[in-house]
Amino acid sequence: MWVLLKGLILGFSIAAPVGPIGVLCIRRTLAYGRWHGLVSGLGAATADFLYGCVAAFGLTIVSDFLLDYASWIRLLGGLFLIYLGITTLRSKPSEQAADAQESTSLLGAYASTLVLTLTNPVTILAFTAIFAGLGLVGSSQSSAGVLVTGVFIGSAVWWLLLSAMVSLFRHRFTPRWLQWVNWLSGGVILLFGVVQLIP
């Protein structure tokens, strides 16, 4: 239970800082509703779980491959963020409620944040360092499994809370406010994409 609790705290802490994924989830919650925000967050939680597995189980072949091609993966992630930022900047709230041309499926929301989060392979180094700090390097596979399960649950709890809180205030946002949200979130996501392209 103590290992699970450590994983929960770790997963929550990793997910909580508002980066490009957080901005994207907030924007999707406002535009499409709570479920789109939550499912987008679960995509990020799944990526954290996968990278946690790589670090916890010592899958050096996978981690070495990802780190060897980290610059290319970061490039793809940065370009994807720029694309999302531009798409968000150009979208109009009045069309979002009636037009489904933008990918609004739950599967699409999940997959896009999963892929986007996986484009940051340096996360493996962060997990490895944190696991070492917690004294979990070289622990049994059962302990590692409990830990990464806790990471996933903790991350998922954060995304549930975030989407629920944003959803509570969703009805108060007029189309004009939503347009400002699109411009602000699109600009932030675009900026994160540009920063990710900087070596």
pLDDT at 138: 53
Residue type, 115: V
Write down how long the chain is.
Answer: 199
- Other beta carbons within 10 angstroms of residue 27's beta carbon come to 25
Contact 24, 109 (CB under 8 A): no
- Other beta carbons within 10 angstroms of residue 135's beta carbon come to 9
pLDDT at 100: 33
Contact 60, 168 (CB under 8 A): no
Which pair of structure tokens corresponds to residue 63?
């981690």
End-to-end CA distance of the chain: 41
What is the total count of domains within the chain? 1
Task: State the Cα angle at 54 between 52 and 55, rounded to 5°.
Answer: 65
Contact 151, 11 (CB under 8 A): yes
pLDDT at 19: 75
pTM (global) more than 0.85: no
Contact 116, 21 (CB under 8 A): yes
Residues 6+ apart with CB under 8 A from 70: 121, 122
pLDDT at 157: 92
DSSP letters, 50-68, are HHHHHHHTT-HHHHHHHHH
Domain that holds residue 27: 2-197
Radius of gyration of the chain (CA): 17
- Other beta carbons within 10 angstroms of residue 112's beta carbon come to 17
DSSP 140: -
pLDDT at 2: 77
Q: What are the pLDDT tens digits along the chain (199 aa)? A: 777 887 888 778 777 766 788 888 888 888 888 899 999 999 999 988 888 888 777 665 666 666 677 778 778 778 877 887 787 777 765 444 333 334 568 898 999 899 888 887 667 667 776 666 665 555 566 777 888 888 899 889 999 998 898 888 877 766 677 677 678 777 877 887 788 788 6
CA distance 73 to 31: 29
CA distance 12 to 68: 28
